[in-house]
Amino acid sequence: MGEPITLLPITSSRADHIFPTLTSVQIARIASHGSARAVRRGEILVEQGDQAIPLFVVISGELEAVRPTCTTETLITIFRAGQFTGEINTLSGRRALARIRVRQDGEVIRLARESALALVQTDAELSEILMRAFILRRVELLTQGIGDATLVGSNHCADTLRIKEFLSRNGHPYTYIDLEHEADVQSLLDHFHVSGGEIPVVICRGETVLRNPTNREIARCLGFNEAVETRMRDLVIVGAGPAGLASAVYGASEGLDVLLLETYSP
């Protein structure tokens, strides 16, 4: 692969909130939850599709987040001294959307996912900074269609619209390629040995090809349910409408082990 192509320049007024630079005092508090280590150029810290994603704070050097495809890479952003990696999936337990790689030699602080969760729960200031950044990063990924899934289909196809709705309702970023409007789409279909009659197609992490998949097949491929452990619960709520969400919040606030199930958002 050659030099990654830049796709996600953040020029909005929210840039400081999306990629904030932590103070030395804030970094010291994070360091108490993790461990420092040296990193070398080219080292991969997180691979796309990894589970239990750690959070990294850059002390020196640079990290880069890239989206790998079958032929090239897309540079999403660069993390410099004082900045941190991660987005919503870091906390939710779903799979990593991007590859995190060392761009310049340096030092980082590594927080395991469990430590990042504990930090968010116990440090109000850092919780606000991390949560705001994670949410805004996911919004940018959704807006620009950067994720680990590619949907190839037609807006005139009912199944294409069903899949778009399913991914959107789960807040999962994806790239959409329209058969009627995208140039050179046939080369992509040929690469994955897909015929026109098998559309729509979902390509997971540039590897797994799902031909006209069900919602369940998509959820399984993208790991939507992997963070849900099978165990006895204090309370199981079916339906994530206003009443279901309120019940889950109140139950959890009282210390109950709550599982909330929703048809379109496992």
Cα–Cα distance measured from residue 188 to residue 82, given in angstroms and rounded to the nearest whole number: 39
Segment 236-247 shows an average pLDDT of: 92
- Which pLDDT band holds residue 179 (cuts at 50, 70, 90)? confident
- What digits encode the pLDDT tens for the residues 79-88? 999 999 999 9
Question: H or E segment at 152?
Answer: strand 149-153
Rounded (to 5) percent helix, strand, coil in the chain:
35, 25, 40
Q: Please say whether the beta carbons of 45 and 100 come within 8 A.
A: yes
- What digits encode the pLDDT tens for the residues 98-112? 999 999 999 999 999
Cα–Cα distance measured from residue 241 to residue 64, given in angstroms and rounded to the nearest whole number: 38
Segment 174-178 shows an average pLDDT of: 90
pTM summary value: 0.82
For each of the domains in the chain, give its residue range(s) and CATH number, in order of start. 5-144 (2.60.120.10), 149-222 (3.40.30.10), 231-266 (no CATH)
Q: Could you give phi then psi for residue 75, rounded to 5 degrees?
A: -75, 120
